């Protein structure tokens, strides 16, 4: 199966070249990755962040984000109601039928809730560092150390997806929507997945992005080619 293109426009979309705010994020992502590969991250200005950093680590980018987790909202259990009805036959039959219909509806709803799906955990702030992605949220924080990830992918231009084993030994699949998604993917791949197809192909940037930058008078450093082992 061909690899999905996270930069492909939706069906029916007419692509009109324009410089967008997301292009700014991608341009800066190229600059950060180029500095990383050149060993010159130290020259970059310090970025303020509330994330707790390990010794030797540094924040490279901070921005908005939203986290989703692949999970089931329920476990298949439901409250089974038993009805004891007395009285005339019509009343008894109606009561039992109503109870059966209610139990059947609750059983179907419980079965649907037992099926995993993308569940939105809420918005927050994303900090990208040399070593990890930190997601700060009032609902549920998250630290994704690049070296602890089981799998990664860039599923959309602004969505970074990954899997990891949590502290309870459970495999968790999560997605972070952020305009820094391409940067997160590139750093994670360079650190822990150097043979990732999207890294080797330069597919973590939109096709023709360097040419687009040049056309708008904002030439970018060729980070996509530099990231792919020669």
Residue 217's closest CA among 23, 22, 3, 86? 23
Q: Residue 162's pLDDT is what? A: 95
β partners of residue 177? 66, 159
**In this model, does residue 21 exceed pLDDT 70?**
yes
Question: How large is the average pLDDT for residues 6-17?
Answer: 57
C-beta neighbour count of 209 within 10 angstroms: 19
Q: Residue 79's pLDDT is what? A: 58
Residue 112, SS3 per DSSP: helix
Q: Higher model confidence: residue 104 or residue 157? A: 157
Q: Residue 86's pLDDT is what? A: 42
Question: How large is the average pLDDT for residues 108-121?
Answer: 71
pTM for this predicted structure: 0.77
Q: Residue 25's pLDDT is what? A: 97
> What distances in angstroms separate CA 82 from CA 96, 105, 106, one per listed residue?
9, 14, 13
Query: What is the H or E stretch that residue 162 is in?
Result: strand 159-165
Rounded distance between C-alpha atoms, residue 27 and residue 41, angstroms: 16
Residue 123, SS3 per DSSP: strand
CB 212 within 8 A of CB 167: no
**In this model, does residue 206 exceed pLDDT 70?**
yes
Confidence category of residue 144, pLDDT binned at 50, 70, 90: very high
Confidence category of residue 168, pLDDT binned at 50, 70, 90: confident
**In this model, does residue 85 exceed pLDDT 50?**
no
Question: How large is the average pLDDT for residues 31-45?
Answer: 93
Q: Residue 36's pLDDT is what? A: 94
| CA 66 from centre of chain | 8
């Amino acid at each position: 199966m061909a690899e999905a293109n996270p930069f492909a426009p939706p069906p029916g979309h007419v692509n009109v070249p324009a410089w967008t705010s997301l292009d700014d994020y991608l341009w800066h992502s190229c600059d950060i990755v180029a500095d990383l590969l050149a060993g010159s991250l130290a020259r970059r200005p310090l970025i303020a962040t509330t994330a707790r950093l390990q010794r030797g680590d540094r924040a490279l980018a901070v921005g908005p984000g939203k986290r989703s987790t692949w999970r089931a909202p329920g476990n298949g259990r439901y409250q089974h109601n038993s009805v004891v009805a007395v009285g005339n036959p019509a009343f008894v039959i109606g009561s039992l039928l109503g109870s059966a219909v209610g139990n059947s509806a609750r059983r179907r709803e419980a079965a649907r809730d037992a099926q995993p799906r993308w569940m939105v955990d809420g918005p927050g702030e994303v900090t990208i560092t040399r070593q990890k992605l930190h997601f700060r949220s009032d609902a549920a924080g998250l630290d994704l150390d690049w070296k602890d990830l089981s799998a990664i992918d860039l599923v959309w231009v602004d969505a970074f997806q990954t899997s990891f084993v949590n502290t309870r030994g459970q495999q968790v699949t999560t997605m972070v929507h952020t305009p820094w998604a391409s940067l997160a993917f590139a750093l994670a791949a360079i650190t822990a997945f150097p043979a990732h197809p999207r890294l080797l192909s330069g597919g973590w940037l939109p096709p023709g992005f360097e040419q687009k930058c040049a056309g708008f008078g904002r030439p970018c450093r060729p980070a996509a080619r530099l990231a792919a082992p020669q």
